[in-house]
Structure 1
Amino acid sequence: MKDGLAGSRPQLVDSRYAWLRLGVALLLTTVGSVGMWSYVVVLPAVQADFGIARADATFPYTMCMVGFAAGNALLGRLADRYGIIAAVLLGIACLGMGYVGAGLAPNMTILSLAHVLIGLGAAASFAPMIADISHWFLRRRGIAVAIAASGNYFAGAIWPPVIQHFTSAAGWRPTHIGIGLFCVVAMLPLSLMFRQRTVMLETPLEGAGFRAPNLGISQNALFVLLCIAGVACCVAMAMPQVHIVAYCGDLGYGVARGAEMLSIMLIGGIFSRIASGFIADKVGGVMTMLIGSFMQAVALALYFFFDGLTSLYLISLLFGLFQGGIVPSYAIIIREYFPPKEAGSRVGTVIMATVFGMALGGWMSGWIFDLTGSYRIAFLNGLAWNLLNLAIAIWLLRAGGRPKPAMA
């Protein structure tokens, strides 16, 4: 069966150019996603600098996630209308201004506002980029989306030790200014790859005659359910990812050990995301979401029972290996259940929901710590939210199974 294409050449789909575009997207995302992880590393230094409580010190991270969440939705729409290049260039500008502004911030208000810009900038290289890549692949869409999403975790594996080193050597303020300048210099040349406008596939499942698989609910209701699932999984995910550095400091192991655990966690996430792409190509997005949600719950439970140094290193690796495929699975579900012309805005909005979950989970865990003096209840809170995500995944699987893959 022959593919139809709107506004581009059919030979570009699944081509060498598509794989090259994916490789550059991975590099750009690895640099741009520094905004997701930099504040996690400097949180203890900022808290000491301003002499504030843990929950208050977490607020710039929350604002970064708010900016990241809004950016995924807004820049996804921008990419749908003007192409991914517009979103990328705006993101580069926001990262440069945000990091320099953060480094010069005289108070927490300015620091928090600067992190809104940082979040907006980081968003350009996440959901809009994932949606863009999904249009360039058909037979290997799952693995392509997973690789694009892995840039976020490559950033998490690479950046925290680098930031910790420069923070210890020069302070968190010069480190932030340096990050901003590096992002502009490194990302501008990479952005040139995305001048070619996105391929829009129209297959029997994805064309103008697209019909969504019947789940017994409307598409809008399904979309809301996916957004709720996104919030729930990431409230759970935020507990270790946002607070592992501070947690290790509280246990007496030192923040450097926590930064190492975060890197190990995200290295595991890289493998998990890529593996989830192969899984999604075989069993679909909903089953991939279900597997990831169940395994993340297992890892969170292990954190509650073990807090030795060796145990934390091992559990952090397991956590990364178990949960990395959850967020990319939402992009696959969107492409399975919604028309391709809505991919940018819908993927961006679902990713926005997951980031709100990260922001809520990061703040909530800090608030629980301030209230109880311990992270034990915070781990239980994360597990409860994870069970909500798992319940939604089970319902989706029972209601609709897996749509038949769209093949040429």
Structure 2
Amino acid sequence: MQSRSRMHWLVAVMMCGLAISAVGLPIMTNGVFITPIADSLNVYRGSVAMHNTLTLFMKAVMSLYVPRLISRFGFKRTIILGVILAGGSNYLLGWVSSLWLFNILGTLRGIGTGLLAWVPLTIVINEWFSEKHGLVTSVVLSFSSITGAIFSPVFSNLIDSLGWEQSYRIMGILIVLFALPAILVPFTLDPRDSGYLPYGTDDSEKGMAREREVVKRDEQRDVSLFLFVHLFIFTLFQTLLIGVPQHFPGFAQSLSYSSDMGATMLSIAMVSSIGFKLGLGYVSDHWGPVRSTVSILALIAVSSVILLTFELVPLLYVGAFLFGAAFSIPSVSVTLLTKEFFGRYNFTRLYPILAFSTSLGGAISLAAVGFIYDFTGSYAPAFAVALGINLVNILILLFISNRISKQKAV
């Protein structure tokens, strides 16, 4: 059986397509629809945004059940159902005008996206890639941000020319199209069932014996609930930061700058997030997930200090660029840390709980930062909290790593 082939990279490309269908299109580009829909229906923007919140919430809930569904019905059937729900409900959003229908379809879309990401994607990557695992993980998961950067202006222009209704229908069709390769191309969750070994696996007798020993150790590894709770807290805390950049336009206005300058800060953060996601996986393959994640946390802490302390535009742009690193932790780092701390065997049952945490934190982070400003009249407390979260999370991560190292030594 081959351990290095075009099929391995084809699987990676298909997972990029699923990332676009699950998160990039229905979640990362949805912000451009809120105002046009609210103006068209003459309702509050918050009322329109509720269907997006329901999408995120149901995506979080479904993360807990995906492994069971894959085990019972198979990987292909699970993602087919996810594509039908995500693409179909998004298409139907272009035909409705009642808020209660928006909320129902938003809920169905959330169920569909939950069946596609992030759990199925990471499980496939774990099974198909032994070598370059971090790099492939970061590339696949970064396509959510890449899609947002590319398609947000595209859909904004489509809304201006065709209307939000037709644009939603186009998005629904694209969700299905980007997922089609993963549905149509024959491959299995376990590469061995397709006649392949995980990428980079030594297929010699000695290498295979070593891999069996690793799998056996993973199966016998005790999972400390105490340490897993710490990783859950780490994940939830870090996810609360991803709503901060969305408030950069308001932050700029609070400093007496224009909202355009704040929008530039937001764009800088979104673009840098792609680079940090891609770079984190590559660095992790060389430094390990713990050291690479601690480095990223330190950069985010520095950015919080800059945004908290300085008001000069060039420094604010630097702060925004560094804060873009916050998006790489919940998506890439948590995936790599789960496998590093608890092994590939335990990944399938533990990561869905952390994925629930990332989606839940993302659903409340936007509102949390807004409430901080509403109650204090300043965004400074939000940056102070971000600084505190990063410092605490560095300590949590080092504590978990130290405890697990001692367990392995014993």
Instruction: Output the TM-score relative to the length of structure 1.
Output: 0.80
| Aligned: 1:221 with 2:213 | no
Greater Cα shift, 282-291 or 268-277: 282-291
Aligned pair partner of 1:284 in 280, 288, 293: 288
Distance 1:178 1:261, change over 3 A: farther
Instruction: Select the residue among 124, 127, 150 that pairs with 1:135.
Output: 127
Residues 75, 189 of structure 2: 8 Å contact kept: yes
Counterpart in the other structure of 1:110: 101
* Pairs within 5 Å for 1:179-218: 179-193=171-185, 195-199=187-191, 203-207=212-216, 210-212=219-221, 218=223
Deviations 1:54-94 (A, max 9, x none): 76565333222212212333224323444432332122112
Does residue 363 (structure 1) correspond to residue 372 (structure 2)? The answer is: no
Query: Which one has the largest radius of gyration?
Result: 2
Whole-angstrom distance in 2 between the partners of 1:125 and 1:283? 27
Give the distance between the partners of 2:314 and 2:82, measured in 1 at CA: 39
CA deviation vs aligned residue, 1:208-245 (integer Å, no higher than 9, x gap): 663438xxxx52332222222111101012221x4446
Q: 1:41 aligns with which of 32, 38, 57?
A: 32
* One-letter code aligned to 2:9: W
User: Structure 1 312/84 Cα, relative in aligned 2: closer, same or farther at 3 Å?
Assistant: farther
- Aligned partner of 1:353 in structure 2 is 357
Show the 5 A alignment for 1:112-191.
112-123=103-114, 124-191=116-183
CA distance in structure 2 between the aligned counterparts of 1:256 and 1:348, rounded to whole angstroms = 38
Once the two structures are overlaid, the 10-residue window that deviates more, 115-124 or 152-161, is 115-124
Spell out the pairing of 1:322-401 with structure 2 (5 A cutoff). Answer: 323-372=327-376, 374-401=378-405
Counterpart-to-counterpart distance in 1, 2:376 and 2:155 = 30
Q: CA deviation at 1:133?
A: 0.9
- Residue in 1 aligned with 2:19? 29
Q: 1:192 to 1:183 in 2, by over 3 A?
A: same
TM-score (norm 2): 0.80
The CA deviation at 1:101 is 3.7
Look up the equivalent residue of 1:347 and give its one-letter code. Answer: Y
Deviation at 1:138, TM superposition (A): 1.3
1:21-47 deviation line (CA, Å, top 9, x unaligned): 112212332343212212333344455
CA contact (8 A) 1:253 1:309 kept: no
Deviation per CA, 1:265-320, whole angstroms, max 9, x where unpaired? 33322221222112222333233332222222322343344567766554433322
Q: Tell me which residue corresponds to 1:265.
A: 269
Question: Structure 1 12/130 Cα, relative in aligned 2: closer, same or farther at 3 Å?
Answer: farther
> Structure 1: how far apart are the matches of 2:354 and 2:398?
18
Counterpart secondary structure, 2:80: helix
Backbone CA RMSD of aligned residues: 3.4
Q: Secondary structure of the equivalent of 1:116?
A: helix
Provide the identity percentage.
22
Task: Give the equivalent residue in structure 1 for 2:301.
Answer: 297
Distance 2:66 2:305 in 1: 36
Where does the alignment leave 5 or more consecutive residues of structure 2 unmatched?
A: 193-197, 199-210
Contact 2:62–2:111 (8 Å) recurs in 1? yes
State the distance in 1 between where 2:105 and 2:379 align. 28
Which residue identity lines up with residue 84 of structure 1 in the other structure? Answer: F
Cα distance between partner residues in 1 of 2:68 and 2:316: 40
Q: Give how far 1:177 is off.
A: 2.3
Q: Secondary structure at the match of 2:216?
A: coil
State how far apart, in whole Å, the 2-side matches of 1:44 and 1:247 are: 20
Check if 1:84 corresponds to 2:84: no
2:52 pairs with 1:61: yes
More relative contact order, 1 or 2 (CA 8 Å, 6+ apart): 1
What is the rounded CA distance, in whole Å, between the counterparts of 1:375 and 1:305 in structure 2? 12
Evaluate the alpha carbon distance shift between residue 341 and residue 194 of structure 1 in structure 2; reply closer, same or farther with a 3 A threshold. farther
User: What CA distance in whole angstroms lies between the structure 2 residues aligned with 1:228 and 1:168?
Assistant: 42
The 8 Å contact of residues 299 and 322 in structure 2, kept in 1 or not, is answered as: no
- Count residues with an aligned counterpart: 388
